[in-house]
A and B are shown apart, each in its own frame.
Chain A
Amino acid sequence: MGCCYSSENETTEQDPDERKPLIPHPNPVSKPPNGTDWITTNVPSARTDEQALLTSILHKTAQNIIDVSAADSVMMEQHEYMDKARQYSTKLAVLSNSLPQKKALALPSLTSQPHQVLASDLVPYSDVQQVSKIAAYAYSAISQIKVDAKEELVVQFAIP
């Protein structure tokens, strides 16, 4: 479990299915994205170093790539999805019950003379105006932050 405040050492009664991702890895190592077989099949033990190297590079690459084009074909059935959702929410409900209720933070003491503090002069209008202006500048600056797209997030491999 990777959520906040969870302890990492609760390995008892682990459901093996629990760690199965909702969307399975679209291209397991044994099946390359373009459908051709890896050269590992039926290669005699006298395989050259070069081939071995190539195979290992291919394996590594395949493990590092998420093939989004293949994701559609491995979509779950509706009922499977519902089952998973139910299973996860039951698990969460059980876990959240066992969490200690975090006590609301005690109120700080801001003053020992509340009446005096509350009765004192209001914040001058010019101060309020200044704060509003600064906030407006900050808002304007933040709204101008943009993502500068440099390259494609999804790349096409030129596989012949």
Chain B
Amino acid sequence: TAALTAGLERIPDQLGYLVISEDGVLASAGELENDEHTAGVMMEMVRTASRFRLPGSTDPPFKRMSILEDFVYTVTVSGQKVFVVKRQNNQQEPISV
């Protein structure tokens, strides 16, 4: 799993990550270390989102799913594994007067 996670460690502003397979969490670190609950929720969200299809297309119409809170979860799937990275959200909300 070292090859899987080496790249994740280098992602800018990352606060933690998860690598999940059908059987469970393969790797985790930072704020998401051993976070089985988040892993379960992410898995469910990916499954739901990947059922969407645009007319005439057989592949899911996205590469990455972003979940925005005060921070951002970025999620993608590759080789039957779900990758979740928690990143800082540095974009400042414009102050409305």
Contact = CB atoms under 8 A, between A and B. Distances in A.
B43 to A, nearest CB: 9
A113 interface: yes
B50 A108 contact: yes
Contacts of B64: 110-111, 117-118, 120
A109 B81 CA distance: 9
A99 interface: no
B32 interface: no
Contacts of B46: 107
Interface in B46-72: 46-47, 50-51, 59-60, 62-64, 66, 68, 72
Interface in A44-59: none
A160 to B, nearest CB: 60
B83 A109 contact: no
B74 to A, nearest CB: 5
Given A112-B78, A117-B76, A107 B22 contact: yes
B63 A111 contact: yes
Interface band, chain B = 20 to 34
Contacts of A107: 22, 46-47, 50, 77, 80-82
B78 A114 contact: yes
Interface residues of A, number: 21
A128 interface: yes
Interface string B28-46: 0000000000000000001
Contacts of A109: 77-80
Contacts of A155: none
14 contacts: A105-B50, A107-B22, A107-B80, A109-B80, A110-B50, A110-B64, A111-B63, A111-B76, A111-B77, A114-B7, A114-B76, A118-B83, A122-B74, A125-B93
Interface of B: 7-8, 10-12, 22, 46-47, 50-51, 59-60, 62-64, 66, 68, 72, 74, 76-83, 85, 87, 89, 91-94
